[in-house]
């Protein structure tokens, strides 16, 4: 076997109750659909024949040094607490050290684990390609995220509501898969030793300069505030911001029913299971504060004076909305060409957004069109833009190079929902060209690509995606 990965596993060294060791269940006839050569090179994985890559990234062959395991975690799902979740269909092969940082290599869809409950531990091709394309697009947009290393089809059917679908497995890479829910797992069991061990491990791995739980919490809060502001700035809706899908590293993970805004409206929800809009576009800043409060709760028992800890952590959590708001302001300021926006610029931004919502402007295209003086065409009633424009022009007169600021803040290309759905349909029919084309165009989202203008087009009425599904 020529696929060699220099595993250096630390999570596997943690006590037994942190995970369950598993052997990925072999699949019938794995075939490689995608392999991320650039990422592989970063991870020190040398090129190998496709058949061998397919064997490894389907779980059929465990590469030397891997110690496959499913991680235990808990989590609040739509506000309700589950003390026992865990990787029900994922499988951590191990970690690879990169510039002194450890990165997880994980298979998703690799078969049942002790945490699978009623699930089959599998994934079908649709969600695998969806996560592959969207996570790589997020990376190219400069947003912290897990990445896609490989995708394979299994040659086995997976049964879902709509019948038999082609099975697939995604290999993803992240700074870690430690979640808020990992901390909750130990708190729920009153396992203080486990909690302390997890805390020490996580600090060392992600925030080595944090000297106290308060400093650690502050560091996580800072990264998550920045992450959510970045999501907002590209119109990204995660869709399942449960605490088990919220990382400690501050990366986006667990791409399920996520989607990007087409027409801008703050209340937009795509996920079929989000009946009350808990995870709507504009509610994401509120939800992350709530999720960080759950993390804070887990850290209280680590403090010598718990009453004081509750008080201090509460104060810290209460600073988070302002923190998100200031990150948001910086990013949206850049979207309108202001390099370093201050609070005085906020009305200019919110007035534009309000006019966009009232006039069904496409979020991505409206901002991008600020660069070409064609923004007004994005408005149902262009006069709404005309009213906003003079104040904006005046503001820009004191900026040194607004175009340069805007071009790097307003992508031309995002993974549009209808293109993702069309790509999946083609792939199910055996045509992977749309998948490969999306990947290549989305790798360079801030550059105009005239031969890919069809990928900037909003959906025709018949193409509009109304709902997205977890599609597990």
Q: Which residues are catalytic?
A: 244
The answer to whether 472 contacts ligand AMP (rule: CB under 6 A) is: yes
Supply the minimum distance, in Å, between the C-beta of residue 84 and ligand AMP: 9
Interface residue with Mg ion, options 87, 136, 251, 254 (CB under 5 A): 254
| Binding region for ligand AMP (CB under 6 A) out of 1-9, 85-93, 274-282, 369-377 | 85-93
Complex with ligand AMP: residue 126 or 256, whichever CB lies closer? 256
Interface residue with Mg ion, options 245, 246, 249, 283 (CB under 5 A): 245
Torsion of the alpha carbons at 77, 78, 80 and 85, rounded to the nearest 10: -10
The answer to whether 419 contacts ligand AMP (rule: CB under 6 A) is: no
The answer to whether 122 contacts ligand AMP (rule: CB under 6 A) is: yes
| Binding region for ligand AMP (CB under 6 A) out of 79-87, 143-151, 226-234, 425-433 | 79-87
Complex with ligand AMP: residue 124 or 201, whichever CB lies closer? 124
Could you tell me which of 25, 238, 140 has the C-alpha nearest to residue 439?
140
Complex with ligand AMP: residue 79 or 347, whichever CB lies closer? 79
Complex with Mg ion: residue 245 or 283, whichever CB lies closer? 245
Instruction: Please give the Cα distance from 128 to 423 (Å, whole number).
Output: 12
* Contact yes or no for 307/208 (Cβ under 8 A): no
Complex with Mg ion: residue 245 or 294, whichever CB lies closer? 245
The answer to whether 252 contacts Mg ion (rule: CB under 5 A) is: no
Half-sphere exposure of 143 (CA within 13 A, CB side): 28
- DSSP result, 119-170: S-SBEEHHHHHHHHHHHHHHHHTT--B-EEEEEEEEEEEEEETTEEEEEEEE
| Binding region for ligand AMP (CB under 6 A) out of 113-121, 301-309, 333-341, 361-369 | 113-121
**Helix, coil or strand: residue 351:** helix
* Contact yes or no for 52/1 (Cβ under 8 A): yes
Q: Which residue has the tokens 């800043």?
A: 285
For the segment 254-273, give every residue that binds ligand AMP (CB under 6 A).
Answer: 254, 256
- DSSP result, 240-293: ---GGGBBSS--B---SS-EE-SB--TT---BTT-TT-TT-GGGHHHHHHHHHH
Could you tell me which of 302, 280, 298 has the C-alpha nearest to residue 244?
298
Instruction: Please give the Cα distance from 439 to 415 (Å, whole number).
Output: 9
Interface residue with ligand AMP, options 110, 153, 171, 245 (CB under 6 A): 245
Complex with Mg ion: residue 252 or 456, whichever CB lies closer? 252
| Residue 116 contacts which entry, ligand AMP, Mg ion, none (Cβ below 5-8 A, type-dependent) | ligand AMP
Take residue 333 and report the two structure tokens written for it. 């300021």
What angle do the packed helices 417-428 and 433-442 form, to 10 degrees?
150
Could you tell me which of 88, 67, 72 has the C-alpha nearest to residue 12?
67
Supply the minimum distance, in Å, between the C-beta of residue 144 and ligand AMP: 18
Interface residue with ligand AMP, options 30, 68, 86, 402 (CB under 6 A): 86
Instruction: Please give the Cα distance from 373 to 303 (Å, whole number).
Output: 56
Interface residue with ligand AMP, options 19, 76, 89, 395 (CB under 6 A): 89
The answer to whether 47 contacts ligand AMP (rule: CB under 6 A) is: no
Complex with ligand AMP: residue 127 or 411, whichever CB lies closer? 127
Q: By the criterion CB under 6 A, which residues form the site for ligand AMP?
A: 85-89, 115-116, 119-122, 240, 245, 254, 256, 470, 472
| List of residues contacting Mg ion (CB under 5 A) | 245, 254
């Amino acid at each position: 076997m020529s696929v060699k990965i220099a595993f250096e596993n630390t999570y596997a060294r943690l006590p037994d109750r942190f995970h369950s060791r598993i052997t990925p269940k072999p699949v019938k006839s794995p075939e490689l659909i995608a392999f991320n050569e650039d990422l592989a090179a970063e991870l020190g994985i040398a090129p190998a024949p496709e058949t061998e890559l397919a064997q490894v990234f389907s779980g059929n062959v465990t590469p030397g040094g891997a110690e496959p395991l499913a991680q235990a975690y808990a989590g609040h799902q739509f506000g309700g607490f589950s003390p026992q979740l865990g990787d029900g269909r994922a499988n951590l092969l191990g970690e690879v050290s990169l510039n002194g940082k450890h990165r997880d290599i994980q298979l998703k869809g690799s078969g049942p684990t002790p945490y699978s409950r009623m699930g089959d531990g599998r994934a079908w091709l649709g969600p695998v390609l969806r996560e592959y394309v969207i996570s790589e697009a997020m990376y190219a947009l400069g947003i912290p995220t897990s990445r896609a290393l490989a995708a394979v089809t299994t040659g086995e059917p997976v049964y879902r509501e709509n019948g038999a679908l082609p099975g697939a497995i995604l290999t993803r890479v992240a700074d870690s898969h430690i979640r808020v829910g990992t901390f909750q797992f130990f708190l729920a069991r009153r396992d203080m030793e486990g909690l302390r061990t997890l805390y020490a491990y996580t600090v060392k791995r992600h925030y080595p300069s944090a000297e106290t739980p308060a400093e650690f919490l502050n560091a996580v809060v800072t990264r998550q505030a920045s992450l959510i502001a970045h999501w907002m700035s590209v119109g990204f809706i995660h869709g399942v911001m449960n605490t088990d899908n919220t990382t400690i590293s501050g990366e986006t993970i667990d791409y399920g029913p996520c989607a990007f805004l087409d027409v801008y409206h703050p209340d937009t929800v795509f996920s079929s299971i989000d009946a009350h809009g808990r995870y709507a576009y504009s509610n994401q800043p509120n939800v992350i504060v709530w999720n960080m409060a759950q993390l804070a709760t887990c850290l209280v028992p680590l403090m010598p004076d718990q009453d004081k800890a509750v008080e201090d952590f509460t104060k810290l959590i209460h600073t988070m909305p302002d923190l998100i708001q200031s990150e948001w302001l910086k990013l949206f300021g850049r979207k309108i060409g202001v390099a370093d926006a201050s609070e005085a610029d906020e009305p200019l931004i919110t007035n534009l957004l309000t006019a966009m919502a009232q006039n069904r402007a496409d979020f991505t295209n409206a901002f991008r069109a600020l660069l070409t003086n064609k923004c007004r065409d994005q408005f149902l009633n262009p006069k709404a833009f005309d009213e906003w424009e003079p104040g904006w022009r005046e503001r820009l007169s004191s900026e040194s190079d607004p175009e340069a600021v805007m071009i790097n803040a307003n992508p031309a290309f995002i993974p549009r929902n209808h293109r993702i759905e069309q790509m999946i349909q083609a792939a199910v029919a055996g045509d992977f060209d749309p998948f490969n084309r999306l990947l290549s165009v989305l790798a360079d989202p801030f550059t105009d690509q005239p031969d890919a203008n069809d990928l900037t087009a909003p959906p025709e009425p018949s193409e509009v995606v109304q709902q997205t599904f977890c599609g597990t």
